Amino acid sequence: MYRLARAALFQLPPEISHSVSLKGIACAERLGLLRSLTAKQPRQPVEVMGLKFDNPFGLAAGLDKNGDYFNSLGALGFGFVEIGTVTPLPQPGNPRPRLFRLPQEQAIINRMGFNNHGVDHLVNKAGKRRYKGVLGINIGKNLTTSIANAQQDYCIGMEKVYPVADYIAINISSPNTPGLRDLQNVDQLDQLLDVLKDSQARLAERHGRYVPLAVKIAPDQSDTALCEIAAVLRDKQIDGVIATNTTVSRQGVENNRYAGEQGGLSGAPLEARATEVIATLARELDGTLPIIGVGGICDGAGATQKLAAGASLVQIYSGFIYRGPALIKDMAAAVAAAS
Protein backbone atom coordinates (compact mmCIF):
# COMPACT_ATOMS: atom_id res chain seq x y z
CA MET A 1 0.00 0.00 0.00
CA TYR A 2 2.79 2.41 0.85
CA ARG A 3 4.44 1.77 -2.53
CA LEU A 4 1.28 2.90 -4.29
CA ALA A 5 0.98 5.96 -2.08
CA ARG A 6 4.65 6.81 -2.59
CA ALA A 7 4.31 6.60 -6.37
CA ALA A 8 1.55 9.20 -6.25
CA LEU A 9 3.30 11.39 -3.69
CA PHE A 10 6.55 11.40 -5.66
CA GLN A 11 4.71 13.08 -8.51
CA LEU A 12 4.42 16.15 -6.29
CA PRO A 13 7.22 18.59 -5.39
CA PRO A 14 9.08 17.22 -2.35
CA GLU A 15 7.93 19.79 0.20
CA ILE A 16 4.30 19.48 -0.89
CA SER A 17 4.37 15.68 -0.75
CA HIS A 18 6.01 15.92 2.69
CA SER A 19 3.13 18.03 3.98
CA VAL A 20 0.47 15.86 2.32
CA SER A 21 2.04 12.70 3.80
CA LEU A 22 2.10 14.06 7.33
CA LYS A 23 -1.48 15.28 7.10
CA GLY A 24 -2.52 11.91 5.73
CA ILE A 25 -0.89 10.07 8.64
CA ALA A 26 -2.57 12.43 11.10
CA CYS A 27 -5.95 11.87 9.44
CA ALA A 28 -5.47 8.09 9.51
CA GLU A 29 -4.69 8.25 13.22
CA ARG A 30 -7.76 10.34 13.98
CA LEU A 31 -9.92 7.83 12.09
CA GLY A 32 -8.36 4.92 13.95
CA LEU A 33 -6.84 3.46 10.79
CA LEU A 34 -3.17 3.32 11.72
CA ARG A 35 -3.49 0.13 13.74
CA SER A 36 -5.00 -1.68 10.76
CA LEU A 37 -2.48 -0.23 8.33
CA THR A 38 0.66 -1.01 10.36
CA ALA A 39 1.89 -4.25 11.82
CA LYS A 40 2.09 -4.45 15.60
CA GLN A 41 5.68 -3.94 16.65
CA PRO A 42 7.22 -6.47 19.02
CA ARG A 43 8.40 -4.98 22.28
CA GLN A 44 12.19 -4.84 22.46
CA PRO A 45 12.67 -2.71 25.58
CA VAL A 46 15.94 -0.96 26.25
CA GLU A 47 17.08 1.63 28.79
CA VAL A 48 19.31 4.44 27.50
CA MET A 49 20.21 7.80 29.11
CA GLY A 50 18.10 6.73 32.07
CA LEU A 51 15.01 6.53 29.84
CA LYS A 52 12.97 3.43 29.08
CA PHE A 53 12.26 2.78 25.39
CA ASP A 54 9.72 0.18 24.22
CA ASN A 55 12.03 -0.49 21.28
CA PRO A 56 15.27 1.06 20.00
CA PHE A 57 13.85 2.39 16.72
CA GLY A 58 13.31 6.13 16.45
CA LEU A 59 12.35 8.81 13.97
CA ALA A 60 15.11 11.38 13.44
CA ALA A 61 14.66 15.12 13.71
CA GLY A 62 13.69 17.03 10.59
CA LEU A 63 10.53 15.21 9.58
CA ASP A 64 8.33 16.94 12.16
CA LYS A 65 10.08 20.23 12.77
CA ASN A 66 7.23 21.93 14.63
CA GLY A 67 5.80 19.08 16.71
CA ASP A 68 2.56 19.09 14.72
CA TYR A 69 2.53 15.37 13.90
CA PHE A 70 4.59 13.43 16.45
CA ASN A 71 1.54 11.87 18.09
CA SER A 72 0.51 10.32 14.77
CA LEU A 73 4.04 9.39 13.71
CA GLY A 74 4.68 7.71 17.04
CA ALA A 75 1.60 5.54 16.53
CA LEU A 76 3.38 3.87 13.60
CA GLY A 77 5.47 1.87 16.07
CA PHE A 78 8.49 4.05 16.89
CA GLY A 79 10.03 3.63 20.32
CA PHE A 80 10.97 7.29 20.25
CA VAL A 81 10.38 10.34 18.08
CA GLU A 82 12.66 13.37 17.86
CA ILE A 83 11.04 16.62 16.78
CA GLY A 84 12.67 19.86 15.60
CA THR A 85 15.14 21.30 14.84
CA VAL A 86 13.48 24.26 16.52
CA THR A 87 14.96 27.73 17.06
CA PRO A 88 14.03 30.42 19.60
CA LEU A 89 12.36 32.60 16.96
CA PRO A 90 10.35 31.49 13.93
CA GLN A 91 12.28 31.57 10.65
CA PRO A 92 11.43 30.71 7.03
CA GLY A 93 14.60 28.82 6.21
CA ASN A 94 16.42 28.97 2.91
CA PRO A 95 14.80 29.89 -0.42
CA ARG A 96 13.05 27.17 -2.41
CA PRO A 97 13.78 24.78 -4.03
CA ARG A 98 15.69 23.36 -1.08
CA LEU A 99 14.71 19.68 -0.98
CA PHE A 100 15.67 17.12 -3.63
CA ARG A 101 14.87 13.43 -3.97
CA LEU A 102 17.39 11.01 -5.47
CA PRO A 103 15.28 7.83 -5.71
CA GLN A 104 17.81 5.74 -7.63
CA GLU A 105 20.31 6.21 -4.80
CA GLN A 106 17.64 6.17 -2.03
CA ALA A 107 18.93 9.55 -0.96
CA ILE A 108 17.78 13.09 -0.22
CA ILE A 109 19.61 16.42 -0.43
CA ASN A 110 18.24 19.26 1.66
CA ARG A 111 19.22 22.80 2.50
CA MET A 112 16.13 23.64 4.52
CA GLY A 113 17.94 25.96 6.94
CA PHE A 114 16.03 25.27 10.18
CA ASN A 115 12.68 26.43 8.81
CA ASN A 116 10.27 26.29 11.76
CA HIS A 117 7.50 28.14 13.59
CA GLY A 118 9.65 28.87 16.64
CA VAL A 119 10.05 27.16 19.97
CA ASP A 120 6.84 28.50 21.55
CA HIS A 121 4.74 26.83 18.85
CA LEU A 122 6.53 23.51 19.34
CA VAL A 123 6.21 23.62 23.13
CA ASN A 124 2.49 24.28 22.82
CA LYS A 125 2.12 21.24 20.54
CA ALA A 126 4.29 19.02 22.75
CA GLY A 127 2.10 19.95 25.70
CA LYS A 128 -0.81 18.20 23.95
CA ARG A 129 0.99 14.88 23.96
CA ARG A 130 -0.78 11.56 23.48
CA TYR A 131 2.27 9.61 22.33
CA LYS A 132 3.41 7.17 25.03
CA GLY A 133 6.97 6.69 23.74
CA VAL A 134 10.07 8.77 24.38
CA LEU A 135 9.99 12.30 22.95
CA GLY A 136 13.24 14.04 22.03
CA ILE A 137 13.38 17.71 21.08
CA ASN A 138 16.16 18.96 18.83
CA ILE A 139 17.24 22.60 19.27
CA GLY A 140 19.37 24.94 17.20
CA LYS A 141 20.24 28.59 16.76
CA ASN A 142 18.56 31.22 14.63
CA LEU A 143 20.27 32.25 11.39
CA THR A 144 20.49 35.85 12.58
CA THR A 145 22.28 34.86 15.79
CA SER A 146 26.04 34.99 15.45
CA ILE A 147 28.17 31.99 16.34
CA ALA A 148 29.65 34.09 19.13
CA ASN A 149 26.17 34.38 20.65
CA ALA A 150 24.99 30.85 19.85
CA GLN A 151 25.09 29.83 23.51
CA GLN A 152 22.26 32.26 24.20
CA ASP A 153 19.96 30.62 21.64
CA TYR A 154 20.68 27.10 22.89
CA CYS A 155 19.98 28.17 26.47
CA ILE A 156 16.69 29.77 25.44
CA GLY A 157 15.74 26.62 23.56
CA MET A 158 16.66 24.39 26.50
CA GLU A 159 14.71 26.45 28.99
CA LYS A 160 11.60 26.46 26.79
CA VAL A 161 11.53 22.76 25.86
CA TYR A 162 12.78 21.33 29.15
CA PRO A 163 9.33 20.80 30.74
CA VAL A 164 7.98 18.82 27.74
CA ALA A 165 11.07 16.90 26.53
CA ASP A 166 12.26 13.46 27.57
CA TYR A 167 15.68 14.32 26.14
CA ILE A 168 17.11 17.36 24.37
CA ALA A 169 19.29 17.09 21.27
CA ILE A 170 21.83 19.85 20.63
CA ASN A 171 22.17 20.33 16.87
CA ILE A 172 25.59 21.79 16.07
CA SER A 173 26.08 19.83 12.88
CA SER A 174 23.62 20.94 10.22
CA PRO A 175 25.50 22.10 7.10
CA ASN A 176 22.68 24.49 6.18
CA THR A 177 23.22 27.23 8.78
CA PRO A 178 26.45 29.12 8.00
CA GLY A 179 29.14 28.60 10.63
CA LEU A 180 27.08 26.21 12.76
CA ARG A 181 29.53 23.32 12.39
CA ASP A 182 32.28 25.51 13.84
CA LEU A 183 30.69 24.75 17.21
CA GLN A 184 32.09 21.22 16.87
CA ASN A 185 35.63 22.61 17.12
CA VAL A 186 37.00 21.50 20.47
CA ASP A 187 37.45 24.92 22.09
CA GLN A 188 34.01 26.17 21.08
CA LEU A 189 32.38 22.85 21.93
CA ASP A 190 34.00 22.89 25.38
CA GLN A 191 32.65 26.38 26.11
CA LEU A 192 29.18 25.62 24.77
CA LEU A 193 28.80 22.43 26.77
CA ASP A 194 29.98 24.12 29.96
CA VAL A 195 27.13 26.60 29.60
CA LEU A 196 24.56 23.96 28.66
CA LYS A 197 25.46 21.63 31.53
CA ASP A 198 25.14 24.53 33.97
CA SER A 199 21.75 25.34 32.47
CA GLN A 200 20.71 21.68 32.67
CA ALA A 201 21.58 21.56 36.38
CA ARG A 202 19.55 24.70 37.12
CA LEU A 203 16.57 23.46 35.11
CA ALA A 204 16.69 20.03 36.76
CA GLU A 205 16.49 21.66 40.18
CA ARG A 206 13.70 24.00 39.08
CA HIS A 207 11.54 21.28 37.51
CA GLY A 208 12.43 18.40 39.79
CA ARG A 209 13.44 16.13 36.92
CA TYR A 210 16.64 15.46 34.97
CA VAL A 211 16.34 15.73 31.19
CA PRO A 212 19.33 14.21 29.36
CA LEU A 213 21.33 16.13 26.74
CA ALA A 214 22.55 14.51 23.52
CA VAL A 215 24.85 16.25 21.04
CA LYS A 216 24.30 15.64 17.31
CA ILE A 217 27.51 15.60 15.27
CA ALA A 218 28.42 15.58 11.59
CA PRO A 219 29.85 12.65 9.62
CA ASP A 220 32.43 14.84 7.89
CA GLN A 221 34.94 14.89 10.74
CA SER A 222 38.33 13.22 10.57
CA ASP A 223 38.94 10.35 12.98
CA THR A 224 41.26 12.63 14.94
CA ALA A 225 38.53 15.24 15.29
CA LEU A 226 36.03 12.56 16.33
CA CYS A 227 38.36 11.41 19.07
CA GLU A 228 38.74 14.99 20.30
CA ILE A 229 34.95 15.48 20.30
CA ALA A 230 34.49 12.21 22.18
CA ALA A 231 36.94 13.40 24.84
CA VAL A 232 35.00 16.65 25.34
CA LEU A 233 31.65 14.85 25.51
CA ARG A 234 33.04 12.45 28.08
CA ASP A 235 34.71 15.20 30.11
CA LYS A 236 31.53 17.32 30.22
CA GLN A 237 29.40 14.28 31.15
CA ILE A 238 27.04 14.70 28.23
CA ASP A 239 24.30 12.07 28.35
CA GLY A 240 24.47 10.88 24.74
CA VAL A 241 25.73 11.54 21.22
CA ILE A 242 23.74 11.33 18.00
CA ALA A 243 25.84 10.15 15.06
CA THR A 244 25.34 11.41 12.46
CA ASN A 245 23.75 14.39 10.74
CA THR A 246 23.74 14.78 6.94
CA THR A 247 26.97 14.93 4.92
CA VAL A 248 28.35 17.53 2.52
CA SER A 249 30.05 14.71 0.60
CA ARG A 250 28.57 13.61 -2.70
CA GLN A 251 30.18 10.19 -2.72
CA GLY A 252 27.75 7.71 -4.20
CA VAL A 253 25.64 10.31 -6.01
CA GLU A 254 28.29 11.93 -8.21
CA ASN A 255 26.38 11.29 -11.43
CA ASN A 256 22.97 12.37 -10.20
CA ARG A 257 21.59 15.58 -11.71
CA TYR A 258 21.22 17.00 -8.19
CA ALA A 259 24.79 16.26 -7.11
CA GLY A 260 25.73 19.91 -7.54
CA GLU A 261 22.99 21.17 -5.25
CA GLN A 262 24.22 22.59 -1.96
CA GLY A 263 22.98 21.05 1.27
CA GLY A 264 23.21 17.92 3.34
CA LEU A 265 22.98 14.47 1.79
CA SER A 266 21.12 11.74 3.67
CA GLY A 267 20.05 8.22 2.84
CA ALA A 268 21.80 5.10 1.61
CA PRO A 269 25.04 6.81 0.40
CA LEU A 270 25.68 7.95 3.99
CA GLU A 271 25.24 4.50 5.54
CA ALA A 272 28.84 3.26 5.54
CA ARG A 273 30.35 6.52 6.79
CA ALA A 274 27.79 6.93 9.56
CA THR A 275 28.54 3.40 10.75
CA GLU A 276 32.28 4.13 10.71
CA VAL A 277 31.72 7.22 12.85
CA ILE A 278 29.68 5.19 15.33
CA ALA A 279 32.41 2.56 15.56
CA THR A 280 35.09 5.22 16.12
CA LEU A 281 33.05 6.93 18.83
CA ALA A 282 32.27 3.60 20.49
CA ARG A 283 35.99 2.80 20.76
CA GLU A 284 36.81 6.22 22.17
CA LEU A 285 33.87 6.50 24.55
CA ASP A 286 34.22 2.91 25.77
CA GLY A 287 30.71 2.81 27.17
CA THR A 288 30.89 6.11 29.07
CA LEU A 289 27.93 7.51 27.16
CA PRO A 290 25.48 5.98 24.67
CA ILE A 291 25.35 6.54 20.93
CA ILE A 292 22.19 7.07 18.90
CA GLY A 293 23.00 5.81 15.41
CA VAL A 294 21.47 7.48 12.37
CA GLY A 295 22.45 7.71 8.73
CA GLY A 296 21.47 5.62 5.73
CA ILE A 297 19.39 2.91 7.41
CA CYS A 298 17.20 1.56 4.63
CA ASP A 299 16.58 -2.00 5.82
CA GLY A 300 16.80 -4.26 8.84
CA ALA A 301 20.42 -5.10 8.16
CA GLY A 302 21.31 -1.41 8.34
CA ALA A 303 19.85 -1.16 11.84
CA THR A 304 21.67 -4.26 13.08
CA GLN A 305 24.97 -2.92 11.67
CA LYS A 306 24.56 0.36 13.55
CA LEU A 307 23.82 -1.48 16.78
CA ALA A 308 26.73 -3.88 16.24
CA ALA A 309 29.04 -0.90 15.66
CA GLY A 310 28.19 0.45 19.10
CA ALA A 311 24.87 2.31 18.91
CA SER A 312 22.31 1.75 21.66
CA LEU A 313 19.44 3.24 19.65
CA VAL A 314 18.90 3.95 15.94
CA GLN A 315 16.94 6.57 14.03
CA ILE A 316 15.61 6.70 10.49
CA TYR A 317 14.66 9.55 8.17
CA SER A 318 15.34 9.07 4.44
CA GLY A 319 14.76 5.33 4.69
CA PHE A 320 11.34 6.09 6.15
CA ILE A 321 10.55 8.31 3.17
CA TYR A 322 11.42 5.53 0.73
CA ARG A 323 10.16 2.50 2.67
CA GLY A 324 7.43 3.81 4.94
CA PRO A 325 6.29 2.04 8.14
CA ALA A 326 7.43 -1.33 6.78
CA LEU A 327 10.99 -0.28 7.59
CA ILE A 328 10.16 -0.26 11.32
CA LYS A 329 8.89 -3.82 11.06
CA ASP A 330 12.01 -4.86 9.11
CA MET A 331 14.33 -3.36 11.70
CA ALA A 332 12.47 -5.04 14.56
CA ALA A 333 12.59 -8.44 12.85
CA ALA A 334 16.27 -8.15 11.94
CA VAL A 335 17.36 -7.04 15.39
CA ALA A 336 15.29 -9.77 17.06
CA ALA A 337 16.85 -12.38 14.78
CA ALA A 338 20.37 -11.10 15.51
CA SER A 339 19.95 -11.07 19.28
Count of C-beta atoms within a 10 Å radius of residue 272: 15
Give residues with Cβ within 8 angstroms of 309, minimum separation 6.
Answer: 275, 276, 278, 279, 282, 293
Contact 316, 296 (CB under 8 A): no
Count of C-beta atoms within a 10 Å radius of residue 30: 11
**Is 173 considered catalytic here?**
no
Give residues with Cβ within 8 angstroms of 282, minimum separation 6.
Answer: 291, 309, 310, 311
Give the separation between CA 222 and CA 318, rounded to whole angstroms: 24
Measured between alpha carbons, how far is residue 147 from residues 188, 233, 238 in Å? 10, 20, 21
Beta strand residue intervals within 174-332, DSSP E: 213-217, 240-243, 264-267, 291-294, 313-316
Count of C-beta atoms within a 10 Å radius of residue 7: 9
Count of C-beta atoms within a 10 Å radius of residue 251: 11
For residue 293, the cross-strand partners are: 243, 314
Contact 57, 45 (CB under 8 A): no
List 21, 72, 173, 174, catalytic entry? 174
Give residues with Cβ within 8 angstroms of 215, minimum separation 6.
Answer: 169, 170, 172, 193, 233, 238, 240, 241, 242
Contact 296, 302 (CB under 8 A): yes
User: What residues are labeled active site?
Assistant: 174
